[in-house]
Chains A and B, each alone.
Chain A
């Protein structure tokens, strides 16, 4: 059953329409009470949406590792942190150099990406020596060590618990200040689109196919004369760079980075997002990222609502902890809706028409080490 919407041109048109609508939001006054904090043109709402898109981009890069390669990494947040911290620190170091601000900004971005690439290769080279749960543990341990170093302000660069602030004097004016929030929003949208296209490109490439094949059957790939180690390393490093791109966007949007974004809990959040959206689906990572962020925001707002405060403790305490509700929601999705949001929608739309197999994505099936 090949309709216009499933053809390549159809997909392009749908994608263009979605991006176009998203790009128009800052010019419109759409108000969705209960979901958005205010009309879409207000800086507050735009910041929330931009943040959600950056998290979606980060989740997409995590999807490459978890969904495509089938590797459970607990260290992905460190690459996001590398992007955010890297930009802030390099800008601060280069600011007194006397170079024009624009040059400083560009050099800082390039250097940050190079650092992420190097870091991704180093961590990947080490962690990919082992597979399964040991891989997860190595990434967790490395991320934990990074987090501790960032907190302890090793080398005096990371600012300890205070974190790093963005030196706004060397950032282009169009990206600074509340009046320019819509520019930051468009930047976040652009980052999401770039990361999405990069993911499509990687997944469709020969490398992507080999990595996916190695997830299903490592032996077969080895027999074909390919070393899963190197293709996985390439993918891991690629995902690290994409995470750093999202991290750069985060730094520009929030103007500061704190150790929170380098914790393993932050990576666990990504895992929650990817599973919530649907493991193995690119759209799952995006939908999951946006839904999770908006839910997190709304639940935090709910916590301070009048009617919640009046409830007895047994109800009030769980309801005023967004992470509790999100964590339990995640547990329910894992137990009762494998395939997440996108998987559910597929099941609904495919009940009629072609009886394509909607079994849970393969990534979940055989990752037992």
Chain B
């Protein structure tokens, strides 16, 4: 029982990380029809810069970590918004080229990170509490999972509030449904593009710093490897659906944890099978909407 609980909660913790990456991917795809291959790089860069600033404030302290998270958030948002403005916007409505550009940026940026911070991951120091565990009904849950889960929940709530309560949120919700009609109402939908990139980048940036907490290290390839799981999550959840991304994040991570533990390290295979199953039964994903 305690093993099941442990796997479940660690799974949800990992799912929280997936969600931070997948939420932005899903929103960006939903609104713009662009699968953003540079998303992992937002995460990696934010992870590195968050760590660089955080350790100067106080290596292994809460002040350092929280500053790092703030830096990660800002870096993610700014870099993502710039990416949209400089590389995506000039290719307006040419979706395949937009995807290709993000592919190129993803490849190039990882190479650059390797050049700056080296090819091997760097071990980092964390506040002591995060290295400990908490007893929940006999299961010793690593404390960092709580931080991941709490952050993801806050991010989810903030994004939902933004989408529901602001005028840009309204434009984004409408645009995910039918982008063409939004422009035909006289709205410059490109501004919404920049905003979803910034929001997605901010979430990924937070995810970058938290990924370094989860793995205990920062590395040039952290974003890329998380990105693949986030893609799977996004497709299973239904491209463009925030709720779908949230549900699928937890589902994928929990399946992965259980398969790794009970089925001899076959977590990745289990996810691929889950993806195949979902796509064969429901090609638009769990919460997928009509395509436009």
Contacts and interface: CB of A to CB of B under 8 A. Distances in A.
Given A130-B279, A145-B269, A368-B96, A330 B235 contact: no
A330 B104 contact: yes
Contacts of A320: 115
A61 interface: no
B269 A138 contact: no
Nearest to B276: A126
A5 to B, nearest CB: 32
A346 interface: no
A145 B111 CA distance: 24
Interface majority SS (helix, strand, loop, mixed), chain A: helix
Given A334-B104, A369-B291, A134 B235 contact: yes
B33 interface: yes
Contact of B101 (A148, A318, A322, A334): A334
A220 interface: no
Nearest to A148: B268
A87 B239 CA distance: 39
A201 interface: no
B104 A321 contact: no
B107 A272 contact: yes
Interface in B205-238: 224, 228, 231-232, 234-235
Contacts of B186: none
Contact of A137 (B91, B94, B103, B231): B231
Interface in B12-64: 29, 33, 35, 37
B283 interface: yes
Interface in B109-132: 109-112, 114-116
B57 to A, nearest CB: 24
Contacts of B280: 126, 129
Given A137-B235, A140-B231, A331 B268 contact: no
Given A317-B116, A335-B91, A324 B283 contact: no
A149 B108 contact: no
B261 interface: no
A198 B126 CA distance: 57
A272 B95 CA distance: 16
A323 B107 contact: yes
Interface string B244-277: 0000000000000000000001001101100110
B269 A149 contact: yes
Contacts of A364: 94, 96-97
A136 interface: yes
A343 to B, nearest CB: 13
B55 to A, nearest CB: 20
Contacts of A322: 111
Contacts of B37: 268
Interface string A340-368: 00000000000000000000000011011
Contacts, number: 124
B115 A317 contact: yes
A271 B100 contact: yes
Given A141-B232, A145-B268, A152-B265, A265 B33 contact: no
Contact of A328 (B94, B108, B110, B228): B108
Contacts of B239: 133
Interface in A124-154: 126, 129-130, 133-134, 136-138, 140-142, 144-145, 148-149, 152
Contacts of B35: 133, 136
Contacts of A338: 97
A293 interface: no
A331 B105 CA distance: 7
Contact of A324 (B91, B115, B224, B231): B115
Contacts of A324: 108-109, 111-112, 115
B29 A133 contact: yes
Contacts of A335: 87, 90-91, 97, 101
B228 A264 contact: yes
Contacts of B291: 369
Interface in B53-111: 87, 90-91, 94-97, 99-101, 103-111
A130 B115 contact: no
Contacts of B231: 137, 140-141
Contacts of B279: 129-130, 134, 138
Given A129-B280, A318-B115, A320-B115, A144 B228 contact: yes
Contact of A321 (B90, B96, B103, B114): B114
B268 A275 contact: no
Interface string B144-158: 000000000000000
B278 to A, nearest CB: 10
A137 B275 contact: yes
Interface in A93-149: 126, 129-130, 133-134, 136-138, 140-142, 144-145, 148-149
A327 interface: yes
27 contacts: A72-B96, A133-B235, A134-B235, A137-B232, A138-B275, A142-B272, A144-B268, A145-B269, A268-B106, A269-B107, A271-B100, A272-B104, A317-B115, A317-B116, A318-B115, A321-B115, A323-B107, A324-B108, A324-B112, A326-B108, A327-B106, A327-B109, A331-B101, A331-B104, A334-B91, A334-B104, A368-B33
By Cβ-Cβ distance, the 9 closest A-B pairs, closest first, are A327-B108, A323-B111, A324-B111, A331-B104, A327-B107, A330-B104, A317-B115, A321-B111, A145-B272
Given A140-B228, A364-B97, 7 more contacts: A134-B283, A141-B231, A318-B115, A324-B112, A327-B104, A331-B105, A364-B96
Interface of B: 29, 33, 35, 37, 87, 90-91, 94-97, 99-101, 103-112, 114-116, 224, 228, 231-232, 234-235, 239, 265, 268-269, 271-272, 275-276, 279-280, 283, 291
